[in-house]
Structures are given as C-alpha cells and as structure tokens.
Amino acid sequence: MHGLGNDFIVTTQNETEGYDLPGLAKRLCARRINIGADGLIVALPCGEADIRMRIFNPDGSEAEMCGNGIRCFTRFVYDEKIVPKKDMSVSTLAGIMRPELVFEDNRVTGVRVDMGSPVFENDRIPVISENPALSNNIIVLGQPFSVSTVLMGVPHTVVFLKEGDSVDPSVFGPAIETHAAFPKKTNVNFVRVLGPDSLRITTWERGAGLTLACGTGACAAAVVSSLKGFTQKKANVFTQTGKLVIEYKDTGAVYMTGPAEYVFSGTVMQDGF
C-alpha cells in the first residue's frame, strides 16, 4: 500500500508468526531484490485499543509512528474486517492514535487521523542544546542552519528554505539526521512556504532515507510554520506526489487527512523470507 508514494508492506501477526521482524523488514523492504518498501507494518491484537500497529524501517529499526503508514494500516484492517469500524483506536509506540475513514459515495477516499499533540521540550524529543528546540542553530558540513525540532510521535527537524537556497536533501538530510544534537537521530524536513495556507516539503526519514511523502513530517512542518506565523493553522502540505491537509487545533491536537491506496496483494514464497 502507499500514502502519497510512501509505500508499505502491510500484513498481520499470523502471517509473520515466528519470524524476526527487524530482519524480515530488512529483507522484504529491499528494493529490486524483494518486494521493496519504505517500511513493514504488522497488525497485532491489543488490549488497550482496537488494534496495535508495529512499523519497521528498511534498516530494521522500529519506528514509534508513521503518518502515511497509519492511514494505510487503518484502511487495511477495516477492509480485512479485522477492525470493522469507520473510526478506531490504534496502539503505537507513540501512544494511542485515533484514525477515521473518509467516505464519498460509500467509497473510501482517505483517512483522517488525530495525531495527538506535538512535544517541544528538548529532553522529551530529545535535543541536546542550550537553545529551545524550536529555535536552534547547528552547523552541518560546514554550513549553519536555523532549525526547529518537535516530537510528532517521532522526532522531526524542520529546515525552512528561502527562494534561491540550494540545499540537497540527500546530502544534508543524513548529516542533520545523525548530528550530535539529536541523540536518537531525527527525521529532517526541508520546507518551502508557498503561501498562507500552503507548504511544500521534502523529507529525509530516519532509518529510511528520502521518501516521496511523510505524514508525521507534514504535521511537524505545519505546526512549526503556524507557530512562526508563516502559515495559518490549517494548511495544505504538498509532497512530490500530492497533498496532505494538516489542521493544528487550538486544543493543541494535530489532525492529518490524506489518501491510502493499494498497489497489489500477494504471497511471498518461503525463500523470500
């Protein structure tokens, strides 16, 4: 499945029983020599919510949450009748998320997710700095950057680019991701403000590299942009393949609405594991 090109292998606990999930993610997500994906998502039973979601990056690391991933996951468990509810609770390492399926003419057209509230405290993100996480300065590859970091389920660092700025995300993304200021690493979002209700974003994902879209990154970018007065509290965040609608409520909650699409379904032969 994919959400704006951010693609995932989505399956259940029964299908992966007995397998080492980090190792399985490494093998199955390898492009060209296996299915290929930005992550492996597994649905598991849960006592504290309707369902539990675990997501593993292509390098085998487990992510706390994934915005595009949870939309795909929600549609999958609904269509498979694992959770036959149009709105549900999903347990993740970042807490319980509350997605809701969006319908038009009885057809699923997207998923709206209550992503919770962003966290700005340095020690909780975490960020090592004497400056506030929202107004930090770092030097990467000899170049100074003004950055803002928030915890939006996972750590996200936002870099605003002005017209004329030439920054290669594939070069500076991994350098910022592994900067000493971020002891658990960070996702990196390169953002251009298009107008009072529009942003364009390119994301370097921790553990995955450049992706076509990132849901939690879009949320982080919209929150920071709103707080800095660049955009309103509701914004369209454009990726390479489409847009997400992000709403930063006065209550502090962030809502994300976007698509969740199927690519194919199938069976992996035993040797493929």
Active-site residue among 29, 66, 72, 219?
66
Active-site residue among 29, 46, 72, 214?
214
Structure tokens at 200: 């364009």
Q: How many residues does the chain have?
A: 273
Closest CA to 9 of 40, 30, 31: 40
Cα 22 from Cα 131, distance rounded (Å): 35
Distant-in-sequence, close-in-space partners of 230: CB < 8 Å, separation ≥ 6 = 160, 193
Q: Is 72 a catalytic residue?
A: no
Q: Is 66 a catalytic residue?
A: yes
Cα 252 from Cα 248, distance rounded (Å): 7
Cα 248 from Cα 131, distance rounded (Å): 24
Beta strands 187-195 and 154-160, pairing class: parallel
Catalytic annotation, residues: 66, 214
